[in-house]
Amino acid sequence: MNLKKIIICVLYCIFAFSSHADEKIISNQNTEFSFYTGTFDFSDDGKKSTLIGIEHQNEDLNRDTFLGNLSPITGILITADNAGYIYTGVEAQYKIGLLNFNPSFTPGLYHEGDGKDLGHVLEFKSELQFSFDLSNKSQLGFSYNHISNASLGDKNPGANSYMFNFFKNF
């Protein structure tokens, strides 16, 4: 599937969910989806690629801990080079005035496709995400992540990426 078809599909989902969310009376809006796009491995000119992704968070599973409010997240990203990463892990949530700060750690499975060889199928993504509330149901943000295999493979080049995020509660 080419990148243009994937982007059209993601945009359709955003608008379809948004229009149906207003039609229904939702008593508990605790499911959040993040739709994002950006550049995969922007620091490697040879293997830099456009990416898109979607991430899910169920706020009913949040827990207040000594580290702050933590919740599980699950997602998938696909690059224009047909590389893919599916992941699940934990995200912390901090509110600093108008700014939302969400660091996360998510182990996952990576498939290089025609993209960068990261050295192993098991990779770990560390991410810093900043966002602002657009309304009580949506946010707009920016995130940076690093994907690495922690030297599990014969090589560990890692990948640094940045994304622009749109968050929507359903």
Judge whether 72 lies within some domain.
yes
Identify the domain containing residue 109 by its residue range: 3-11+31-169
The pLDDT tens digits of the residues spanning 114-125 come to 999 999 999 999
Tell me how many domains the chain contains: 1
- What single-letter DSSP state applies at residue 6? H
Judge whether 55 lies within some domain.
yes
* Of 69, 163, 162, 83, nearest in space to 123 by CA: 83
Q: What is the CATH number of the domain that holds 146?
A: 2.40.160.20
Residue 149: pLDDT band (50, 70, 90) is very high
Judge whether 101 lies within some domain.
yes
pLDDT (mean) for 30-34: 88
Using an 8 Å Cβ cutoff, are 57 and 38 in contact? no
Amino acid sitting at position 161: S
Is the pTM of the predicted complex or chain greater than 0.95? Answer: no
Task: Please give the pLDDT value at position 68.
Answer: 86
Using an 8 Å Cβ cutoff, are 129 and 143 in contact? yes
Judge whether 96 lies within some domain.
yes
Amino acid sitting at position 4: K
Task: Please give the pLDDT value at position 8.
Answer: 55
Residues 6+ apart with CB under 8 A from 27: none
